[in-house]
Structure 1
């Protein structure tokens, strides 16, 4: 199907500083293409996103999304695994993939002149993976080694256990990579079924940023998908975004201990929070900057600088379409766990009771503003921002508007959110040399 230049130019979503322009097109099949052309850039970063993550796996398919991330690099009818790797190596480019709870992205960074090659190779991988049985069994062992490596990291274990504790039996509470048991048990047929179900035109979002032309990117994507044999129905609409209706979270307040023989205990305390498109997400960013977002944050100053109880301590939050969580982390001597836990809770409660000063608020908004702008200095960050905007937000917010929303957060809003978090039932996760029945006074 021949498309006009006007159609391929798409909708202009925003003009960015430096002359960058963000455009969006919907191609036949419901394929969405978003680009940010950046004048003067000699490189480009490309991402092929599928709106499927670990939360979408059916029973018997747990771990399949991450399994596919590995297997799509293992060959197609047109290319072997070596061909895929060599295509990027011989132009000095790089390619990789990332699996999350709600999406999977296959991406590459190359010189602008090599963007056609990158589109062709990644489109081939996404549309035409063979999932060779021998390669699958070999990669099964690789993934088991990866899970074992993560399992040897007590910080990773603490975060995984914390999320599972807070989100309970909701699919978001499952580990992204599956478990050793599910990876050993998942059959090729189950992985193949998962692939066929979700890797479809209406699920696909292609984003690119750097030295590029939007219409040319659209043409190259269409050519690559036609070559793969994908049926691109001109009347097919993109798959609707996930519902933002809040999930029923059945987490487990209280203390969960993971016994490990380690020199340093890993401690997390937190609670459920709100979903990704909640208006309070900007307030949460400011709260985290004040509470645990840097060396001048309250947690860092109180726990590390004043008392020397931990090397690393911070606060964090994560949000999905219909749920989210907030937490505070510290790594400390096992003998100091109870004291550190009490101090983390106290700092949150102080924030809830006394609020923040105007000086703290200015510092936090300045820290966030600088971080946002500096993070967008490379094409990879901008490519990822386009993907998140399309799959999660449903709208693109330019840098100026984002900064305005950050600076619009008030001290009263930070205090109100802190009060909500401080009043929520707390889940505590501790990884260290303790008995499972240890409560640490909570």
Structure 2
């Protein structure tokens, strides 16, 4: 990216919590923590001090299908960034005492997530959507599932998860291609592939979860089965989601908040996995009006699916999505992360121009077709966390979607 004085480096692994069986639930996230406790010739403090000494920052994240490590730094820091990230994924120390200590840290993270209603309600919905599958278990795991993790077991899991044939290195910003390729060969090119952790096909199960807690607001999540990451109709789903609940001009924001005062926060979202996905709605509402809000959410989905968007709605959604593409192009971190993810999914990067063209090509008829598929599945996953008076919101949503 000409004119920049910084770089963004992403090492992304095609692996995460989805690959775990129940006995290893949370191990991918635990491993991501542990590699920062020591790698190569570096201790935990050395890792961050070396990066920050050159004005950089380092972070990582574990998802269901991807684990990523990121460095942001000044121009000229690429050799250091590549060395540090290579050591993290291939040469972590995994000291036994650090493993036990980090289990306690993750236990606090699990407790924090439970104590945060608008986090925990998503875990509840995910469990209902994909019951019995890796996608249906919390990324953090549980205290019980983390307990057996020792150095030998975690080292074996690292080798299976962080195999180089499942890995992409992406760099954006003030970088020269020749230097990058030489460093990639030096730090990543010698690693041998290992038998990799696999994952079984997922299916959307659906169901209803309720948890009564003495808090002021009901937290609601409603999910429908949707498209996977490779589905060519994904741009249509993105437009559908934006029109439904993507911003202040969206249908849900206008009808639920502006017209009826049912919610302060409400939005629609979609999550895509390798073979399927979900369309979801999250809202926070007064308990006594939660069923009314659930009914309204279902009604808006059904109306958009049946009638399609107006010309104005479709034009707005296309403008918002395209603006997001171009804005992300101006951020080195967004570019490196996006290109790594695209290469893992599609085998090669996808240009923003191609993505924008696909968005612009979609019609109202395309949205109706995808919307009717969403509405016709007959399955949903709902989660309600809050006062007991909100307990019927999930059923209200499911019944309205089923036409009852």
Same fold judged by TM-score > 0.5? yes
Q: Bigger shift: 401-410 or 178-187?
A: 178-187
Distance change in 2, residues 1:247/1:225 (3 Å): closer
Counterpart pick for 1:400 among 353, 356, 364: 353
Residue 140 of structure 2: aligned partner: 177
2:113 matched to which residue of 1?
A: 150
Q: Secondary structure at the match of 1:296?
A: coil
Match of 1:428 in 2: 382
Provide the C-alpha distance between the structure 2 equivalents of 1:323 and 1:106, rounded to a whole number of angstroms: 25
Given the superposition, is the C-alpha separation of residues 208 and 159 from structure 1 closer, same or farther in structure 2, using an over 3 Å criterion? same
- The match for 1:293 is 246
2:330 alignment partner in structure 1: 377
Question: How much has 1:282 moved relative to structure 2?
Answer: 0.2
Q: How far apart are the structure 2 equivalents of 1:242 and 1:278?
A: 21
Match of 2:215 in 1: 262
- Is the 1:167–1:272 contact (alpha carbons within 8 Å) kept by the matching residues of 2? no
Contact 1:63 1:179 in 2 (8 A): yes
More helix by share: 2
- Structure 2 partner of 1:130: 93
Paired residue secondary structure (1:40):
coil
Does structure 2 retain, via aligned residues, the 8 Å contact 1:60–1:186?
no
TM-score, normalised by the number of residues in structure 2:
0.92
- Pair 1:188 & 2:151 matched: yes
Do the aligned partners of 1:74 and 1:81 also contact (CA within 8 Å) in 2? yes
Superposed displacement of residue 248, structure 1: 5.0
Match of 2:275 among 322, 336, 343: 322
Alpha-carbon shift at residue 73 of structure 1 (Å): 0.7
**Which of 139, 142, 162 is the equivalent residue of 2:102?**
139
Determine if contact 1:241/1:394 at 8 Å carries over to the other structure: no
User: 1:15 maps to what in 2?
Assistant: none
Shift of residue 408 of structure 1? Answer: 0.6
Any unmatched runs of 5+ in structure 1? 1-37
Task: Please give the secondary structure, in 2, of the residue aligned with 1:131.
Answer: coil
Number of equivalences: 395
User: TM-score, normalized by length of structure 1?
Assistant: 0.85
Q: 1:349 aligns with which of 302, 309, 322?
A: 302
Instruction: Report which stretch shifted further, 287-296 or 161-170.
Output: 161-170
After the TM superposition, list the runs of 4 or more consecutive aligned residues in structure 1 that deviate by more than 6 angstroms. Answer: 238-243
Q: Which residue of 2 aligns with 1:313?
A: 266
User: Paired residue for 2:84, among 118, 121, 130?
Assistant: 121
